[in-house]
Homo-oligomer: A and B are copies of this chain.
Amino acid sequence: MAPCGEKSEGAISSIVIIIGSVSISLCSTSLYIYNYLMRLFIYFNFEAMQTEAMPLVNKFELKEDLESPFPKGVPWVRYYGTYKDLLINIIWPGKDLALGVDNVGTVSSSLVTYAAIQALKPDLIINAGTAGGLKAKGASVGDVYLASEVAFHDRRIPIPVFDLYGVGLRQACSTPNLLKELNLKTGKLSTGDSLDMTPQDESSIIANDATVKDMEGAAVAYVADLLKVPAIFVKAVTDIIDGDKPTSEEFMQNLIAVTNALGEAVTRIIDFICEKCHSEL
Contact = CB atoms under 8 A, between A and B. Distances in A.
Contacts of A164: 99
A226 B103 CA distance: 12
B38 A73 contact: no
Contacts of A161: 99-101
A104 B193 contact: no
A227 B41 contact: no
A155 to B, nearest CB: 4
A96 B157 CA distance: 14
A204 B196 CA distance: 14
Interface in A147-188: 152, 154-162, 164-166
Interface stretch (A105-113, A238-246, A269-277): A105-113
A38 B193 CA distance: 27
A158 B193 contact: no
Contacts of A107: 106-107, 110, 219, 222-223
Contact of A165 (B101, B115, B158, B227): B101
A193 B101 CA distance: 23
Contact of A34 (B38, B71, B104, B159): B159
Please state the number of chain copies in the assembly: 2
Interface in A218-238: 219, 222-223, 226-228
A128 B179 CA distance: 46
Contacts of A97: 226
A195 interface: yes
B165 A96 contact: yes
A73 B227 contact: yes
Contacts of A82: none
A45 B108 CA distance: 28
A114 interface: yes
A206 interface: no
B160 A73 contact: no
A105 B147 CA distance: 24
A198 interface: yes
B106 A37 contact: no
A216 B25 CA distance: 26
A168 to B, nearest CB: 8
A155 B105 CA distance: 8
Given A73-B226, A100-B161, 14 more contacts: A38-B159, A97-B226, A104-B165, A107-B107, A107-B219, A111-B114, A114-B114, A114-B115, A155-B194, A156-B194, A156-B195, A156-B196, A158-B195, A198-B198
